[in-house]
Amino acid sequence: MRARGAVGSRKGWCGLQSLIGQQLGDYVLEAELGRGSMGVVYRARSASQGKPFAVKVLLEALTSDMSFVTRFTREARVVGALHHPNIVRVYDAGRQGQHLYFVMEYFAGQTAGQLLRERGRLPASEVIEITAQAADALDYTHAKGHLVHRDIKPENLLVDRWYRVKVLDFGLARVDGLHSITTAGTVVGSLYYVSPEQLLGRKLDGRTDVYALGISMYEMLTGQRPYRGHTLTDMSQAILSSVATPAMQLEPSVSPELERIIQRAMARDLEQRYATAGQLGMDLREMQSASTPPGALKQGAESAAAGQEALPHAEAAAPWSPTSPTFQRGRRSTLRPTSLEPVPSEQPQRPHVRER
């Protein structure tokens, strides 16, 4: 999902009618933040509270298709049941006329994919921090929610200016252990990040997301994807049998230890891959600790704490720059924006869906 500036036009992308200026429930839609295959995300403001939120609205053309309505509603339920600082929070949901929507925490930031397009590649310290936080979120999702995300990629990792990370778009999430969904040979998810077992239509578990996170690390560090192809067949064959150029050959700043972590995360053989996202995160944190200068952790935590104070007005804060790649272990915030699918066995709080 691409970010989009606040433009008060009457038409959205692809000529579709924009809802900017309209009110859904208590929420006045102010600007488009992004648009995906199913819905549009708007920055909104609560009329009663005056606080900013993100509101995801199902595309009007899909409201008559019950499969999309079910999937959209399931997204709100799934994310509403997940409570983790690195996962977007869902607060409310409703229907107003033809508009089905749910309300999320507003989190000002850019996706790692956007950062990658702007810079070409990201420094190792930043990639380690982003990936470690994403691994924390996925470990929780796999263990507590029993869900496999199935669409992990840089574009679904939202990062703020203090390098706090939120995992986005659980729209393709499936209950752990179910088969991958395929239609006419097409795998659900972004093909560049699809695991071999997902391509082959086998049962999936959290290691599928670990693989995608490994591919994302490789891309963020080198500016290239490890497997490429001109056609769907070529791409699939590359994922299943090609040998990727080691990241350290493309980017000299990648250390042998970081190379080892990447290779293990994106191993084709499930038995050679990290068994859990938590193990991947632990290796990254240990590597991070070993390279942290004395005093950097304390300074970074203090800077992050100061950043938390200003987050509701993050647009006025300092320019993009992590004060320390390890500040997250000192203190984290609880802010977030967008996601989707099946309902986990444990469901602490589901957003109430109102009919209007």
Q: Which residues are catalytic?
A: 151
Of 38, 46, 55, nearest to 104 by C-alpha is 55
Strand 39-46 with 157-159, pairing: unpaired
Beta strands in the chain (DSSP E): 23-24, 27-35, 39-46, 52-58, 90-96, 99-105, 110-111, 147-148, 157-159, 165-167, 174-175, 182-183, 186-187, 353-355
Q: How far apart are CA 61 and CA 320, in angstroms?
A: 37
* Token reading at 213: 């996170």
* Token reading at 290: 């070993």
* Token reading at 144: 């507590």
Residue by residue, what is the 3-state secondary structure of 272-331? CCCCCHHHHHHHHHHHHHHCCCCCHHHHHHHHHHHHHHHHHHHHHCCCCCCCCCCHHHCC
Single-letter amino acid, residue 17: Q
- Cβ atoms 34, 109 nearer than 8 A: no
Backbone angles phi, psi at 290, to 5 degrees: -65, -25
184: left (phi over 0), alpha (psi -120 to 50) or beta: left
10 Å Cβ neighbour count for 50? 7
Query: Which residues does residue 101 pair with via DSSP β-bridges, in sequence order?
Result: 57, 94
Strand 27-35 with 23-24, pairing: antiparallel
Long-range pairs, 116-124, Cβ under 8 A, ≥24: 116/154, 116/219, 116/220, 116/223, 120/223, 121/220, 121/221, 121/222, 121/223, 121/251, 122/220, 122/221, 123/253, 124/221, 124/253, 124/254, 124/255, 124/258
